[in-house]
Amino acid sequence: MSKPAPNWHRGIAGLSIVVTGGARGIGRATVERLARAGANVAIGDRDAELAATAAADISRQTGTRVVSAALDVGDPDSWTAFLGAVAEIGPIDVLVNNAGIMPLGSVLKESAGVAAAIVDVNLHGVINGTKAVAPGMLDRGHGHIINVASAVGRVAVPNGATYSASKFAVVGFSEATRAELAPYGIEVSMVLPTVVLTELAAGVPAARGVKPVTADQVAEVIEATIRKPKAETWVPRWSQSVAKSADLMPRRLKEAIAHLMKADTVLADADEAKRAAYEERVRNP
């Protein structure tokens, strides 16, 4: 059994890193940060044209190698093709499972196709990515997988039941694989953002007292997690202690506080007009 290499992950320059959903939002912000830090980055995204444009732009801006290829994270065969297409960056040191979709609405009105798509991208994408990349990490005795989950993967809210379920599953998968892969020198971390100012959260209000964060703020935490691995980090960081404290409260008190903060209605109160373009895209890829 290989032993962990304790210092390999402390620097980013020269690492080979895959970022899924890297053509826009949190993914693109993460690619930009990692490229500026000197990593060789591969963008995987279903929108191959947008991914190629992002890779070219970031390469030009940073002077660092950024490549891209089409990737449907829900398809294991697509992972095989993608890793072959970006093999030029070398063996993968870090995998950032970031790709995700968030169609909103009542679970009783949600079509089977939309529910399947949410689970396929948000959960199967993480599972498939881990299965595709972790064996190589295991052979080399080191690696790091970072799964971008969500605050609603710990604190569920109405009008996003399937999305929340998919993120709860990512949390469970991350915790299980962390224990399973640690003996082989592979770190598994998860990052849980609250409301992020990206297209995915268009029109979604933040809970009272919780200011929305930017994609770059999430990317900053992902970069910090690569430099110094942690099992679980929230964005903003202080929200983690609030959520964990709430878990210790009686359910009625917890629900009352959530209602006071309007945390229980953030998805139900989303502005449909502001979300229209995003909802159309993810519901009809």
Q: Give me the pLDDT at residue 6, please.
A: 43
How many CB atoms neighbour CB 284 within 10 A? 9
pLDDT in tens, 253-280: 656 655 555 667 788 989 999 999 999 9
**Where are the domains positioned within the chain?**
16-283
- Can you tell me the distance from the alpha carbon of 177 to that of 171, in angstroms, rounded to the nearest whole number? 10
Q: Pick the catalytic residue: 163, 173, 184, 234? A: 163
DSSP for 25-81? Answer: HHHHHHHHHHHHTT-EEEEEES-HHHHHHHHHHHHHHH-S-EEEEE--TT-HHHHHH
Over its C-alpha atoms, the chain yields an Rg (Å, rounded) of 18
Q: Give me the pLDDT at residue 46, please.
A: 97
Strands 16-20 vs 94-97: parallel, antiparallel or unpaired: parallel
pLDDT averaged per 10 residues, the chain (length 285):
46 96 98 98 98 98 96 98 98 98 97 98 98 98 97 92 98 98 98 95 83 95 97 81 63 61 79 96 89
Single-letter amino acid, residue 181: L
Strands 16-20 vs 40-45: parallel, antiparallel or unpaired: parallel
Q: Give me the pLDDT at residue 252, please.
A: 73
Catalytic: 184? no
Of 234, 29, 260, 257, nearest to 151 by C-alpha is 234
Peptide bond into 236 cis (omega under 30): yes
Please give the class, per CATH, of domain 16-283.
Answer: alpha beta
- Can you tell me the distance from the alpha carbon of 190 to that of 147, in angstroms, rounded to the nearest whole number? 5
pLDDT in tens, 25-54: 999 999 999 999 999 999 999 999 999 999
Give this prediction's pTM.
Answer: 0.90
Q: Give me the pLDDT at residue 238, please.
A: 59
Strand order in the sheet with 232-235: 66-70, 40-45, 16-20, 94-97, 143-148, 186-193, 232-235
Q: Give me the pLDDT at residue 211, please.
A: 84
